[in-house]
């Protein structure tokens, strides 16, 4: 049993000699679509890492159980300007990653479009720099807190504030995970841009 589809409109147009509008089907995504999906998933992971870093650092606080007549021994992220910078910057990075999710979805839907990819790679580079700067500066302070420095007579406060030290170290590690994910995202975007087809 065969079905025939009668299309009177197109035959009329062909007879009149006018051009018939034919929409070409979009090319199959192939590996570019796979890379774009991977990009989206990695972005979700990076959001978790950046938010975790900001939250862990922001909630770091330790009060020692002993105190003198004049002050109580307390350490919080507030005491260190670098850590304040870290919390704000990581929150910014997490905000950017959330806002870049729609762009990433556009890149999944249209794997061969260069516009979204270019935009993503440039913004990713800028925020990679920001995340690296905040993570590394906090890491140097954490290193100092663990080891101290004999020449400048800076004491390693980790010996006293153990909990605070553990929290800040964890936050720094989480931010470095976010940096690693950024690096992967940029590498993938570069590979996708580099292929002509």
Partner 1 sequence: MKSSPAELISEAKSSTQNSKMKRAVSVLDFILRLIAVVATLASAIAMGTTDESLPFFTQFIRFRAEYDDLPTLRLFVVASAFASGYLILSLPLSILHITRSSARRTRVILIILDMVMLTSLTAASSAAAAIVYLAHKGNAKANWFAFCQQYDSFCERISGSLIGSFIAIPLFIMLILFSALVLSKR
Contact residues for partner 1, defined by CB under 8 A: 74-75, 79-82, 114-115, 117-118, 121-122, 125-126, 128-129, 132-141, 143-145, 149, 151-155, 157, 179, 183, 186-187, 189-191, 193-196
Both structure tokens of 59 = 């909630």
Determine the Cα–Cα distance for residues 132 and 129; give it in Å rounded to an integer.
5
Q: How far is the CB of 40 from partner 1 (least distance, A)?
A: 19
Two structure tokens written together for 110: 């249209």
Q: Which is nearer to partner 1, 26 or 129 (CB)?
A: 129
In the complex with partner 1, the residue whose CB is nearer, 4 or 74, is 74
Q: How far is the CB of 141 from partner 1 (least distance, A)?
A: 6
Nearer to partner 1, 108 or 158 (CB): 158
CB of 9 to partner 1, least distance (A): 21
- Select 3 or 66, whichever has its Cβ closest to partner 1: 66
Q: Which phi and psi (to 5°) does residue 119 adopt?
A: -60, -45
Residue with Cβ nearer partner 1 (6 or 82)? 82
Q: How far apart are CA 20 and CA 100, in angstroms?
A: 39
Smallest distance from partner 1 to CB 3, Å: 30
- How crowded is residue 130: how many other Cβ atoms within 10 Å of its Cβ? 17
Least Cβ distance, residue 101 to partner 1 (angstroms): 20
Q: How far is the CB of 56 from partner 1 (least distance, A)?
A: 18
Nearer to partner 1 by Cβ, of 1 and 22: the residue is 22
């Amino acid at each position: 049993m065969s079905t025939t589809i009668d299309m009177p409109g197109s035959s009329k147009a062909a007879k009149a000699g006018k051009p018939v509008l034919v929409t070409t089907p979009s090319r199959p995504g192939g590996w570019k679509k796979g890379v774009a999906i991977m990009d989206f998933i990695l972005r979700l992971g990076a959001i978790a890492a950046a938010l975790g870093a900001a939250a862990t650092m922001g909630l770091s606080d330790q009060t020692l159980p002993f105190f003198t007549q004049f002050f109580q021994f307390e350490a919080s992220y507030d005491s260190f300007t670098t850590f304040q910078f870290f919390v704000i910057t990581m929150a910014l990075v997490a905000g950017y990653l959330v806002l870049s999710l729609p762009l990433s979805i556009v890149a999944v839907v249209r794997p061969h479009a260069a516009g979204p990819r270019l935009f993503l790679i440039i913004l990713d580079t800028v925020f990679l720099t920001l995340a690296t700067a905040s993570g590394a500066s906090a890491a140097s302070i954490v290193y100092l807190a663990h080891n101290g420095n004999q020449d400048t007579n800076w004491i390693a406060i980790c010996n006293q504030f153990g909990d605070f030290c553990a929290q800040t170290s964890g936050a720094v590690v989480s931010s470095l995970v976010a940096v690693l994910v950024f690096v992967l995202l940029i590498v993938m975007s570069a590979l996708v841009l580099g292929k002509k087809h």
